[in-house]
């Protein structure tokens, strides 16, 4: 069936598991402009939420406007977990490959909703041992999130908890390496004079680092 893209809902739940990548959207827009044909978007029949095709829908809206009509496949899902499984399955098979971070978030979400480790491992094509490791590297995010959230490698959170602000900063800015690695890299640069003392923001950042080290 055909619907206007403005009728479709971008799910906050699903895009939290896998964010919409602006670069991919840009590539899709260029392809659409050249007349490329894309497969139908998978949609939750009851809510009109996009299950598979968030990048395509975002590109359609930006390129042609909300009134543009596209072909969709509607499907009824028995549960939220079923919808997330379909989301993962479609994204594994089509479009931009899912990265390890996305797989970790999906795995943790599905196991929290009662799926077995074996079924999730089969869905994501990873060993069960990987899922067990991922489950050990999570934190409780204080606020509305009910499910423990994955953390990147290298970070130590003794309390096992983060505020929403801390977790957002971790996801968007943290490199996922140890403090030792960062300290050795920075020490090497400073010892060799590889810094820009004319850059006020760099000087301010080093002042902040000095204060943080003194507080340890």
The per-residue pLDDT for range 17-33, each reduced to its tens digit, is 999 999 999 999 999 99
The per-residue pLDDT for range 137-152, each reduced to its tens digit, is 999 999 877 788 999 9
Q: What is the pLDDT of residue 98?
A: 85
Q: What is the pLDDT of residue 201?
A: 96
Q: What is the DSSP string of 161-176?
A: EEEHHHHHHHHHH---
What is d(CA 169, CA 189) in angstroms, rounded to the nearest whole number? 25
Residue range(s) in the chain whose domain bears CATH number 3.90.1530: 1-78
User: Is residue 95 pLDDT above 70, yes or no?
Assistant: no
The per-residue pLDDT for range 150-183, each reduced to its tens digit, is 999 899 999 999 999 999 999 989 998 999 999 9
Give the model's confidence band at 65: pLDDT under 50 very low, under 70 low, under 90 confident, else very high: very high
| Percentage of the chain lying above the pLDDT 90 cut | 86
Identify the residue whose tokens are 């799910």: 11
- With 0-12 / 13-18 / 19 or more C-beta atoms within 10 angstroms meaning exposed / middle / buried, residue 78 is exposed
Residues 8-11: contacts with CB under 8 Å, at least 24 apart = 8/41, 8/43, 8/48, 8/49, 8/50, 8/57, 8/72, 9/47, 9/48, 9/49, 9/50, 10/49, 10/50, 10/54, 10/57, 10/58, 11/49, 11/50, 11/51, 11/54
CATH number at 1-78: 3.90.1530
Give the model's confidence band at 97: pLDDT under 50 very low, under 70 low, under 90 confident, else very high: confident
pTM (two decimals): 0.80
Average pLDDT over residues 60-85: 97
């Amino acid at each position: 069936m055909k619907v206007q893209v403005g009728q479709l809902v971008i799910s906050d739940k699903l895009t939290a598991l896998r964010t919409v990548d602006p670069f991919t959207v840009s590539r899709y827009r260029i392809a659409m402009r050249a007349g490329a044909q894309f497969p139908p978007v998978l949609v939750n029949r009851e809510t009109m939420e996009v299950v598979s095709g968030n990048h395509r829908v975002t590109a359609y809206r930006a390129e042609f406007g909300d009134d543009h009509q596209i072909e969709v496949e509607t499907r009824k899902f028995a549960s939220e977990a079923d919808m997330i499984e379909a989301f993962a399955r479609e994204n594994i098979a089509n479009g931009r490959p899912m990265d390890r971070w996305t797989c970790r978030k999906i795995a943790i979400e599905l196991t929290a909703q009662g799926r077995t480790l074996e079924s999730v491992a089969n869905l994501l094509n990873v060993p069960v041992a990987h899922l067990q490791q991922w489950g050990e590297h999570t934190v409780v995010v204080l606020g509305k999130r009910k499910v423990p959230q994955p953390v990147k490698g290298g970070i130590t959170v003794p309390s096992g908890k983060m505020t929403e602000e801390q977790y957002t900063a971790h996801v968007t800015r943290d490199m996922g390496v140890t403090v030792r690695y960062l300290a050795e890299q920075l020490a090497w640069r400073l010892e060799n004079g590889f810094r820009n003392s004319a850059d006020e923001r760099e000087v301010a950042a080093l002042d902040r680092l000095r204060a943080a080290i003194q507080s340890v």
